[in-house]
Each structure stands twice: as C-alpha cells, then as structure tokens.
Amino acid sequence: MEEGIHMEMNGVQISESGRTSAVKPDTSTVGSRPAGQTAFDRLLQDRAREGLNFSKHAAKRMNERGIAFDSQLMSDLEHAVEGARKKGARDVAVIGAQGVFIVNVPNNTVVTTMSQSDMKERVFTNIDSAVLM
C-alpha cells in the first residue's frame, strides 16, 4: 500500500495530497443479517449504508486527472445523487468546480470522472440527468 494514505471512505482511499485509489469493499458482515430479510432487502440496505462507491476506472481517472477529493466533496456528491434518485434518474452527470462525475444511480457508483480542463468537447452521452453542485 502506498505511503501517505490516511483515510478510506466508501471504497476510495484518500491520501494527504488528495489523490484517490479504489479499495475492495469489506464483505466480512455478509451473512450476519436477520433471517427474515430477502436478498433484495439486504442489497437495498447495504447500498444505503455504503454510500457512494467508485469504480476502479473512476478512481484511476481521479488520480490521473489530479481531482482533489475530500469528505466535503463526498458529501456533496452523495447529496446530488440522492436528489437525482428522488427524480428518477438512472445515469447522472454531477457537475461541480472539481469536475464532472458520471454516476450510475441504481448501483450508487461513480463510473468515471473528468476535470474541468478535460472537458474539451463538452458533450456527455449515455446520461439521463445532470445535477449542478
């Protein structure tokens, strides 16, 4: 593991420099749910408890593009995604000062990111919603 990493948040490690990397989620609590719950109920509860996740691709892009990440950004992203979820969004572009985060809402997963300087074409495909942060 890389030195300087001091925090893990929802599957993303945050270093002192603001760089990120993907981490496998902890599955040690699987099977410790009450017996009366269905697999779907457990999945929904797990998703709600886990918060926003980052795909390996998204974590790699954040590192490559130098997108600084902290707990405030995570909170802002989660709030934006929750607002999109309430409106029925499935794939949303969350646009903020740090960059754009493409999020698959049903899976609660950031699938890719780009910094403001990387948006040369300014065209987004395969989304159904956008949220400004």
Instruction: Quote the pLDDT of residue 38.
Output: 72
The SS3 assignment for 38 reads coil
Identify whether 32 is part of a domain.
no
Tokens of 35: 């017996």
CB 96 within 8 A of CB 76: yes
The pLDDT tens digits for 66-103 are 888 889 999 999 999 999 999 999 999 999 988 999 99
Identify whether 28 is part of a domain.
no
Q: Judging by DSSP bridges, how do beta strands 53-54 and 109-114 pair with one another?
A: parallel
C-alpha–C-alpha distance, residues 27 and 23, integer Å: 12
* Phi, psi torsion values for 3, nearest 5 degrees: -70, 155
Low-confidence ranges of the chain (pLDDT < 70): 1-37, 40-50
Instruction: Quote the pLDDT of residue 104.
Output: 97
The SS3 assignment for 14 reads strand
| Number of compact structural domains in the chain | 1
Does the reported pTM lie above 0.85? no
> Residue 86 is part of which domain span?
5-23+38-132
